[in-house]
Amino acid sequence: MASVRRVVVSEEVALGAAQVWSVIGDFFGMKAWAPAVESEERQVEGDAEYRVLTLRDGQRFKERLLERGDYFYTYTLPRPGMSGYRSTVRAAPVADDQARIELDISFAPQPGADAEALEAGLRTFCAQNLKAMKRALTPRG
């Protein structure tokens, strides 16, 4: 079995965790910060909650919420070349007026997959999401 890989991208922002979380913390409100999302839909199947995202380029993703708490949520979805994919979005308090946004992904490369390429792609994906989150947190004026 392939060993689990982990990608963590984080950056501190000059806002409290509660303020950060009010913008990026709604699992079913990704459009508040992600300009690539055209539409999103909440689905409930038994005791499982999902968000179905449609991107502006037509791609669709169905992501299952696994866990949520104060200032974090964790979800999963099928990803090509990966098994056991888990992603956590977190606003970690640093001080009253400072938080660290963390995007933390773990996965196991499937046999034959290029683990380095998968990891590099996820690093780029996280960096783009972090940039979008920070843009959504910046006051317009």
Convert the pLDDT of each residue in 47-67 to its tens digit: 999 999 999 999 999 999 999
Q: What does the pLDDT look like over 14-50, one tens digit per residue?
A: 999 999 999 999 999 999 999 999 999 999 999 999 9
Domain that holds residue 127: 5-26+67-137
88 in a structural domain: yes
Which helix (H) or strand (E) segment is 13 a member of?
strand 5-13
- Mean pLDDT in residue range 84-90: 97
DSSP string, 38-102: EEEEEEEETTEEEEEEEETTS-EEEEEEEEEETTEEEEE---TTEEEEEEEEEEEEEETTEEEEE
Is pLDDT at 79 greater than 60 in this prediction?
Answer: yes
112 in a structural domain: yes
117 in a structural domain: yes
CA atoms within 13 A on the CB side of 26: 13
61 in a structural domain: no
pLDDT for the residue numbered 1: 52
pLDDT for the residue numbered 2: 64
Q: What does the pLDDT look like over 90-124, one tens digit per residue?
A: 999 999 999 999 999 999 999 999 999 999 999 99
CB 124 within 8 A of CB 29: no
> What is the residue type of 108?
A
Check which CATH number belongs to the domain holding 88 and give it: 3.30.530.20
Taking alpha carbons only, the member of 43, 81, 46, 84 closest to residue 60 is: 43
127 in a structural domain: yes
58 in a structural domain: no
Is pLDDT at 140 greater than 70 in this prediction?
Answer: no
pLDDT for the residue numbered 139: 74
Q: How many domains does the chain have?
A: 1
114 in a structural domain: yes
| Portion of the chain with pLDDT greater than 90, in percent | 96
81 in a structural domain: yes
The answer to whether the predicted template modeling score (pTM) of the entire model surpasses 0.85 is: yes
